Amino acid sequence: MTEEGSRLEVLVIDDETQIRRLLRVTLESAGYRVREADAGLPGLAEVTFRRPAAVILDLGLPDISGCDVLKRLREWSQVPVLVLSVLGQDDQKIGALDAGADDYLTKPFSGGELLARLRVMLRRGQPSDDLKVIRFGEVEVDLVRRVVTRGGQDVKLTAKEYALLRLLAVNAGKVIVHRQILRELWGPNAEEQTQYLRVYIGRLRQKLEENPNNPRHLRTESGIGYRLVVE
Amino acid sequence: MCPGVGKTYAMLGAAQQELADKVDIVVGVVETHRRVETEALLKGLPVIQRKVIEYKGIQLTEMDLEAILARKPKVVLVDELAHTNAPGSRHPKRYQDVIELLDAGIDVLTTLNVQHIESRADAVRQITGAPVNETVPDSILELADEIELVDLTPEALLERLRQGKVYLGDRAAAAAENFFKDTHITALRELALRFTAERMDKRLREMRASGGKTVWRSGERLLVGVGPSPSSTQLVRWTKRMAAAQGAAWIAVNVESARNLAPEARRRLDQNLSLARELGAEVVVTHDESAADALLRVALQNKATQIVVGRSRNPRWLDIIRGGSLLDRLLRMREPIDIYVVPPERLDKGPWIDWSSRSPSPQREYGAAMGVIAAVTAVGWFLAPHTAYMSVGLLYLMAVIGLSLKVGRWPVLLAGVVSAVAWDFLFIPPLFTFTITRMEDRIMFCMYFVVALVTGQLTARVRAQERHERLREERATALFHLTRALSAAKTLDDGVFAALRQADELFSAQTALLLSDEEGLGLAPHFAGSFAIDEKETGVADWVWHNRKKAGRFTDTLPSSKGFYAPLVREDKGLGVLVVKVAPDATLTLAQRDLIEGFAAQIALLVEREFLRAAGEREKLLVESERLHRTLLDGVSHELKTPLAVLESVGENIAEADPSLRANLVGEMRTATRRLTRLVNNLLDQTRLESGALRPKLDWCDTQDLLNAAIAGVEDSLAGHPFEVVVPPDMPLFRADSALMEQVIANLLLNAARHTPAGTPIFLAAGIDGARKRVFFTVADRGPGFPMEMRERLFQKFQRGDAARAGGLGLGLSIIRGFVAAQGGDVMVGENPGGGSVFTVYLPYEPHGEVPSE
């Protein structure tokens, strides 16, 4: 376990002492070093001074909102950020993802889930040559040659389908909110036209998923967006 | 007794004594007339500053009634009871201020000269020859606990006057000339002494007769006829004196006839009647063409023992024609009633019958009458050579009777006279003279004259009575319509609206209604009013509401206001105020005002009914909410405590537990936390639903995605049930709030899993109905199902199926219904053919816009 985190430093910004303590136990047992901040502004200072490998950010903070922390952070740092929220904060969740958060978790969550998400985030954060080809299940997406194969067979995708798959693939593991996808594929005027997405995701699933009715890779995050799960 | 005897001085003396006894006493108003001795007595008494009132550029000071009411002393000094307040004050008269003070529980010390007592005003005028303008009704003296006579011999008074102790400056001489004559003062003194003695006597007799209670000692009952004439005022006062002396009750009767009264007379009549009311009479208004009949009828109905009438001012012949004067006819009756005849003090000036408006269009009627007579004359002229002149007479008679059916009594009278003259002149020989030679012609002429006049008058009277009947019926109908409208009204607003519109029409007025809130804290105008009350008028309404007495125009309180204000009273509780505003030149008759008060009474009933209903409703709600509260408390505490207890015991045991047991304990802990999470989520959802904070975010949903997410959330609960999902391949996208729908489906599945025996299957299906108007989701099970009568109740909160296992708050289905309804859908429960129940959720469907092809 100790080697997993390889002594990477994770900053936890949350005003609840108990949550911080719990996260510290979970993270330290997984081999991470943990720094804590109990509000947004001290949290931002910590990021500046310590340059942590990842940030776990609660959305409800006493001084400035989690979203504001994220916006200020993203002005100069690309550190991976995992957002914690409670039920019913969908709008804030979407706002945080749109503002540059890498993933989110809804309280209450399990420690295992947290570590898994953190792992994916950190991996994506590392520069890697693998980005040219992304594999999930039987599917291979060659981003250089713009070719998609499933079990060795070429899969024919339309331009938009490919663009959608590519967007999810380069951000593999990360939730991409509806608005972002629509903006990038159909332009800013189409930000509300979620039916486009449903239709195109449906087509991609039909072409790429083993069981399109119960997709393993092209996952829906209800009310928020989509995520490509590669492992 | 009279000015200058030292009333104020005596009052202040009494006040000083009270002050020495440490009684909370203040000076409301005292006129010292700058007499030094009087002013000296003011020392030490707290004075309430007088209020300044601007009237036509002059600054007048008046007693500050509001300030005294606010200060609420034990005793207040109010000098000069008969004083008339400056225009714009709350009451026109100071004695009315005093009544209000007494009503507020404040004792009042006041002063009064004998000539200002209403029932003595005539006597004083006769003695001194000076008119008395400021009077107070005798009834206010009946409110007095104690009357102290301030007496001074005429000589002493005149001496004081000479010394300048009464009025200062050059006014003294002028006053002495006019009023302070030796003889006058003696007479006034006698009046004052007699008044006090009478009162003492009456008190004593009352106390002896009733042991404190006021009952009419003698069983005597006086009745007085009141008309619009000034002499009626005198009659009223006279009767009051008589009644007071005998300790008898008295009734003032006004007999309305077909005659229209001039506005001036109408005003005077109202004044006379309200005077009678003020002096303690019961006022009865009745309709009849014959005053004597009406008086007799009312007298018998009310068991009057004495009738007071004025002496007739009509010429003797007119009385005889009319079947005797009122007095004659009263005297002829056989009832054992005493009759008093009071002579008129002086001749009334001016007519009180409105000659100009006696009939709708008198000129035209006279014209018509003359025209008909002329026509009959012409016809008679041509017939005369062929027939006897008697038949012409019959023709005339027919015309007169015919006319009496169409026109008023005066045109008929004229037609009778003119036709008689014309007949005599043109037809009865000798022709073209007014002389009649033959005896039989004379008799015939006389008979013609009498018959024409009598029939004409009789018919006219019948018609007048008919009109009165109609008026009376209109009033009764108005009240009937109102009652019917009010009882038909489903809500208070409906009723008020109907009532106000009827009043608008009936009185050709604008009406408004102010209703008190149920706690009686304030008045608020009702929206159905046809005009808005301004701030000053709101003050009037407030007064009416607090005092539960009518006020405003046509009354004695705040008569300068624009509207007539009638209180809505039920059992001594002011429920509101009805305001009727007529045009400035129009008036409301006494009967109309009575009708308005009738309206107010009816509306008050309605308002009370509404208040009672609301109170009942609140009571019911309270009981219901208490039940919910208890259920919630019981349920929540049970539901929260069970998993908490599990967590606590796991926490205690896990450290020492055997490693093999540890896994079990952790499993228990997980179950407990999941249960807690679900409970908290349910409570939060219910709260969101009830607070109205739930705003569904409708978005395009993919059925498969939705069901997958919902199933994922309850997968472990479904374990142990065979589970099948059916979604048609062509299921379209639909608009819904995906988060809410996920929860709806998850809750339905959870319910099915929890309330059906392990091993029984659960089905989940989605689809779109034939008309492609709705999408539906069904969750079916093979459990025990629900009895028919439970099905509707199921969706209410804190309701649980009878067969439900312990646990759960009964919130699940209520949340489902709330969430579905928020998205414009519906949820139902039915029977699964072959056993079990089916829950179906419907959502509206419309196809999505086109997706652009590439």
Q: How far is CA B213 from CA B108, B140, B203, in A?
A: 23, 18, 11
Q: Where are the domains of chain A?
A: 2-125, 129-228
Highest mean pLDDT among A214-228, B323-337, B495-509, B684-698: A214-228
Report how far residue B739's alpha carbon sits from residue A6's, in angstroms, rounded to the nearest whole number.
Answer: 38
| Lowest-pLDDT choice from B443-447, B632-636, B760-764 | B632-636
Is B473 contained in some domain?
no
> Amino acid identity, residue B468?
H
User: Percent of chain B, pLDDT > 70?
Assistant: 90
Report how far residue B185's alpha carbon sits from residue B204's, in angstroms, rounded to the nearest whole number.
Answer: 28
Residues B83 and B116 in one domain: yes
Is B57 contained in some domain?
yes
Contacts 24+ apart (CB under 8 A), B21-26: B23/B74, B23/B75, B24/B73, B24/B74, B24/B75, B25/B73, B25/B74, B25/B75, B25/B76, B25/B77, B26/B68, B26/B71, B26/B73, B26/B75, B26/B76, B26/B77
What is the DSSP secondary structure assignment for residue A127, as one 8-state letter?
Answer: -
Which one is predicted more confidently, A147 or B197? A147
At B662-682, the pLDDT tens digits run: 888 888 888 888 888 888 887
- Number of CB atoms found within 10 A of residue B490's CB: 7
| Lowest-pLDDT choice from B8-17, B211-220, B629-638 | B211-220
Is the pLDDT at B204 greater than 70, yes or no?
no
At A77-100, the pLDDT tens digits run: 889 999 988 766 677 788 888 888
* Residue A128 at interface with chain B, using a CB cutoff of 8 Å: no
The predicted model gives B725-729 an average pLDDT of 90
Q: Quick one: pLDDT at residue B356?
A: 42
- Touching B: A residues 5-44, CB under 8 Å: none
Is B154 contained in some domain?
yes
Domain boundary among B355, B384, B415: B355
> Do A223 and B737 lie within an 8 Å CB cutoff?
yes
CATH number at B238 reads: 3.40.50.620
The predicted model gives B342-369 an average pLDDT of 60
Two tokens, residue B418? 């003119």
Residues B29 and B151 in one domain: yes
Is B399 contained in some domain?
yes
Range of the domain at B664: 621-673
Residues B438 and B320 in one domain: no
At B493-507, the pLDDT tens digits run: 888 888 888 888 888
Contacts with B137 (C-beta within 8 Å, 6 or more apart), sequence order: B95, B118, B275, B278, B279
In this structure, the dihedral spanned by the alpha carbons of residues B660, B661, B667 and B673, taken in order and rounded to 10 degrees, is -140
How many domains are there within chain B?
A: 6
Q: Specify which residues A102 forms β-bridges with.
A: none
At B540-565, the pLDDT tens digits run: 888 888 888 888 887 777 777 888 89
My answer on whether omega of the bond before B430 falls inside 30° of 0, hence cis, is: yes
Q: Specify which residues B84 forms β-bridges with.
A: B93
Q: Specify which residues A95 forms β-bridges with.
A: none
Q: Quick one: pLDDT at residue B323?
A: 63
At B185-203, the pLDDT tens digits run: 777 777 787 777 777 777 6
Give the best residue of B705, B715, B742, B845 to mutate against chain A (max A CB count within 10 A). Answer: B705
A171 alpha-carbon distance from chain centroid: 8
How does the average pLDDT of chain B come out, rounded?
80
What is the pLDDT confidence band of residue A165, given thresholds at 50, 70 and 90? very high
How far does the CA of residue B686 sit from the closest CA of chain A (Å)? 13
Two tokens, residue A223? 């009310």
Q: Quick one: pLDDT at residue B167?
A: 57
Residues B228 and B303 in one domain: yes
Fold exhibited by the domain A129-228: Arc Repressor Mutant, subunit A (1.10.10)
- Number of CB atoms found within 10 A of residue A216's CB: 12
Q: Quick one: pLDDT at residue B412?
A: 83
Is the pLDDT at B353 greater than 50, yes or no?
no
ipTM for this prediction: 0.81
Which of B673, B684, B704 has its CB closest to that of A213? Answer: B704
Report how far residue B406's alpha carbon sits from residue B480's, in angstroms, rounded to the nearest whole number.
Answer: 31
Domain boundary among B303, B322, B355: B355
Is B2 contained in some domain?
no
Is the pLDDT at B695 greater than 60, yes or no?
yes
The predicted model gives B449-468 an average pLDDT of 79
Q: Quick one: pLDDT at residue A81?
A: 92
Is the pLDDT at B215 greater than 50, yes or no?
no
Domain boundary among B355, B370, B401: B355
* Residue A112 at interface with chain B, using a CB cutoff of 8 Å: no
Is B476 contained in some domain?
no
Fold exhibited by the domain A2-125: Rossmann fold (3.40.50)
Residues B195 and B178 in one domain: yes
Annotate B130-161 with b (16+ C-beta within 10 A) or e (fewer): eebebbbbbbbbeeeeeeebbebebeebbebb
CATH number at B153 reads: 3.40.50.300
Is B682 contained in some domain?
no
Give the best residue of A198, A204, A219, A224 to mutate against chain B (max B CB count within 10 A). Answer: A198
Residues in chain A: 231
Residues B112 and B159 in one domain: yes
Is the pLDDT at B416 greater than 90, yes or no?
no
Query: Regarding beta strands A33-37 and A9-13, do their DSSP bridges make them parallel or antiparallel, or are they unpaired?
Result: parallel
CATH number at B507 reads: 3.30.450.40
Report how far residue B443's alpha carbon sits from residue B436's, in angstroms, rounded to the nearest whole number.
Answer: 10
* Residue A185 at interface with chain B, using a CB cutoff of 8 Å: no
At B92-122, the pLDDT tens digits run: 888 888 888 888 888 888 888 887 888 777 7
Residues B742 and B799 in one domain: yes
Is B334 contained in some domain?
yes
Asked whether the beta carbons of B53 and B86 are under 8 A apart, the reply is yes
Residues B610 and B630 in one domain: no
| Lowest-pLDDT choice from A10-24, A52-66, A86-100 | A86-100
Q: Which residue's structure tokens are 């004439």?
A: B229
Which of B677, B681, B709 has its CB closest to that of A222? Answer: B709
The backbone torsions φ and ψ at residue A91, rounded to the nearest 5 degrees and listed phi first, read -60, -45
What is the pLDDT confidence band of residue B351, given thresholds at 50, 70 and 90? very low
Q: Is the dihedral of CA B660, B664, B667, B668 positive or negative?
A: negative
At B356-380, the pLDDT tens digits run: 444 455 688 888 888 988 998 888 8
Two tokens, residue B617? 């409703």
Q: A157: which chain B residues are within 8 Å (Cβ-Cβ)?
A: none
Could you please report the per-residue DSSP string of B8-76?
HHHHHHHHHHHHHTT--EEEEE---TT-HHHHHHTTT--BPPPEEEEETTEEEEE--HHHHHHH--SEE
